Structure 1
Amino acid sequence: MRDFVQKQVDTLSVDDGKDRVSVVQYSSDPAVQFYLNTYTTKREVLDSVRGLRHKGGRPLNTGAALRYLRDNVFTASAGSRRPSGVPQVLILITGGRSFDSIDEPASALKQLGVLTIAIGTRGSDPRELQTITGEPSYALSVSELTDLPKVQQQFESSVEAAVFEVTPELPTVIASRDRKDIVFLLDGSDGTRNGFPAMRDFVERVVEKINVGENKDHVSVVQYSREPEVHFYLNTYTTREDVVDSVRGLRHRGGRPLNTGAALQYVRDNVFTNSSGSRRLQGVPQILILLTGGRSFDNVDSPASALKQQGIYVIGIGTRTSDARELQKISYEPSYALSVSEFTDLPSVQEQLSSVMSKVIVRATPMTPTVTGKNVTPL
């Protein structure tokens, strides 16, 4: 493991101040070997890596280690340049299954914008590693740790992909507060038949308050039950009148069961894309407004994490028949999960929704889109 870290450091641009490195070792609890701002030369980093000694201890608490990193290593005081737009990359090397829960800490790292690449052995849990990374292709595997050199090329490709994912295609473009890409995801299952007209009216009211135009706000509507159906994409209409006319014509889809997880994944893969009109790579805020009246029959964890990782801000609106905890998990953060008793009460959260959207636009506007370095932490 130590040799592998050494090989990675050799490929980085530490001396010119572009890349920064930190190393943390953990078992029952984590121990920082050095922080992102401890060393400023490659020689110092390599000398410290060569001097690493095995920590020992049990059990293996990966969840606690991930939480520790978020709170103590990927911070400005420890040398993280996250507020300046520098890609944050975590490389996890582990040989076993965690004794504590990794779900919440892994999700918290993704929310912070940290991209995790995990390498495990046959003693690791592949599904656990995929949950931690949120992207199956970022979870690599070797039989033994001595086989780490075999995944060197695959690993380097994953790092490149991860850094590209968080690097804007046009780094000079700052997210415009005058432009938003908004996707409405509507629960069209059998259970919402009576509430659907109220959902449709609500979407129309939101659209009336935004500035739809070719170089302004873009809107898409997707309805789902067992599977999703796109009514129109982000680049289908360029005027408010066309969007409103299409929304007024929406008909309840029906069907069961309610597969919210599959719908979230579909929206990420097919709607928030360049070909469908998403302007994510131009720095335009990406907002998903989910209206749902029930508990999902499939798992929402991985699709929700994948949306957050892609920088999509999810605002969830549920009724008393929804699962409040599930809605909080789907939403970008718990405060973005709104609630009404029935869909006919949706006008009562109109102002709350506007407030959350305003916060999203502020958060989605980068301070300084610096893309010339990265912060790398092997764990």
Structure 2
Amino acid sequence: MLLADRYELDEPLGRGAMGDVWRATDQVLGRSVAVKVLRAEEATDTERFRMEAQTAGRLNHPNVVGVYDFGTHHDRLFLVMELVDGWTLAQERSLRGTLPPCEAAALAAQMAAGLAAAHRQGVIHRDIKPANVMLTTDGTAKITDFGIARFADDATSTLTATGKILGTADYLAPERALGRPAQPAVDVYSLGCVLYELLTGRPPFRGATSLAVVQQHVDAEPVAPLLLRPEIPVPLSDYVLRLLAKDPALRPTAEEAAGRLSGQEQEPSPAEAGAATAFRPVASGPPARARASHSRPRGRGRLAAKAAVGAGAVALFAAAAALGASLNSGDQQPSTPVSPTATTATSAPAVETSTVTAPPAAPTTSPPPAKEDHGDGKEHKGKGKHGKGKGSDG
């Protein structure tokens, strides 16, 4: 099928909540691209789809999936993106369990660099998670799926009029759970959750329900990563906890995190100076498994802010929950093996998470973190160069 007299749709790569992603050929420029087409039944998401195009279109960075074009064909909106040959970080973690500390830090540094570029353009992603990060065959991490992203000057609310919070429970910053406006620090917190998971094999908090997990983000302290995996260097474990500070003001910026995690900025604290090992991740490079073979499925500064969030935060959280807060809680397991994947609002298998309606009121006591982690973002089946193997839809 020829779209807009230019893009020949070759094969489907994935299917998301809003649209279908296709591997396509740009007949004008003669290159392969990923095309995301808004489904007819999702016409009410037109504004969100346009926002995705506008936010991602502002960005031009090696760690962000590129957006090339946006238009309408027979009253159907479509978005043309960079086609990424690779798989998602969710798939990588699912296959390997945990990553070596230096490799995990290096991937997080690339993600932080992509976020820093977005933040400089006033774009806040708001849904950073392994399923929304693509890994290319040469080891480059690319952030995808800007479906719920917003401009900083337009991020006036995270709670919608119907009392919904958009995001994924396992990676949701506490201030967003409390219904406060999203600022760049929310992406840094989510980055910390992802790095925590890469290092330990589980997100910082686990619970029987999305609401239980979110409340822990608000009022519980995460276990230090090195207590779950002793070989993690003390400085890296401490830095992850800094990324997870309850108070947004205590978190580093994405740019600072990129420098620190890449080893370009070494500013050890007195405690770190005495550590036996330091983390010095390589700037980039393919994951260990990728170097061995490319036959992949395609497809501490103690968080002092707790006092700031404290009982008042829990009260606010309960109020937000009473409104019927719905959290996108997706899984991060690959739905099917994937080959070169296409990108959605980025180039990873775009994962459109489902919403979970919260109970009438939030529990007053957060359950202890579970010992295992199975939370993952829902991904699309596909064989594209963007997402779950091959999909890239958001």
- Radius of gyration: which is bigger? 1
Bigger helix share? 1
TM-score normalized with structure 1 length:
0.31
Taking structure 2 as the reference length, the TM-score comes to: 0.31
Higher relative contact order (CA 8 A, sep 6+): 2
